Amino acid sequence: MLVSDILRSKGADVVTVDPSTTVGDLVQLLSRRKIGAVVVSSDAETLAGIVSERDVVSQLAAHGPAVLTRTVGEICTSDVVTAGSGDRLDELMSTMTEGRFRHLPVVVDGRLAGIISIGDVVKARMGELEEEQQALTSYITGQS
């Protein structure tokens, strides 16, 4: 399965925030949208970074509640690892495992084209395993 297959079923919507957004507003957004990370971008097309709930927690632990008035641009990860639409599911799993992060923005022709979370990866892999199991059962029982 490819990134393009996953995006076809989940859609290409990506929640983005401007780098000037405060961390307090980011927390509200993550909670309201029930997501764990957002792409940081000033035009919703080019990537300036990614910021996740993990960044907020580590900044809170280091600096306390004062961090809520800082900006997303100050706390985000600017060196973003991305995926392409032709990348395979097993490649995404390796990238997330090795990089120790749970989100991969998809970039096509230099533009943001979607985002894959670890939840999307698990769902896609479960679908693949179910298909494999059905194919094996059909093979063993001789039914198509």
Site size toward ligand AMP (CB under 6 A) is 14
Q: Is 41 in the site for ligand AMP (CB under 6 A)?
A: no
The window from 10-18, 97-105, 106-114, 126-134 that contacts ligand AMP (CB under 6 A) reads: 97-105
Residue 59 CB: number of other CB atoms within 10 A?
18
Are 144 and 138 in contact by the 8 Å Cβ rule? The answer is yes
| DSSP-derived secondary structure letter, 103 | E
Output the six-digit token pair for 3. 């990134």
84 φψ region: left (φ > 0), alpha (ψ -120 to 50), beta (else): beta
In the complex with ligand AMP, the residue whose CB is nearer, 34 or 141, is 34
The span from the CA of 41 to the CA of 35, in Å, is 17
Q: Is 95 exposed, middle or buried (0-12, 13-18, 19+ CB in 10 A)?
A: middle
Report the nearest approach of ligand AMP to the CB of residue 18 (Å). 16
Q: Is 67 in the site for ligand AMP (CB under 6 A)?
A: no
Q: Is 70 in the site for ligand AMP (CB under 6 A)?
A: no
Report the nearest approach of ligand AMP to the CB of residue 92 (Å). 10
In the complex with ligand AMP, the residue whose CB is nearer, 55 or 87, is 55
| DSSP-derived secondary structure letter, 68 | G
Q: Is 54 in the site for ligand AMP (CB under 6 A)?
A: yes
Q: Is 59 in the site for ligand AMP (CB under 6 A)?
A: no
Per CB under 6 A, residues contacting ligand AMP are: 36-37, 50-52, 54-55, 77, 80-81, 101-104
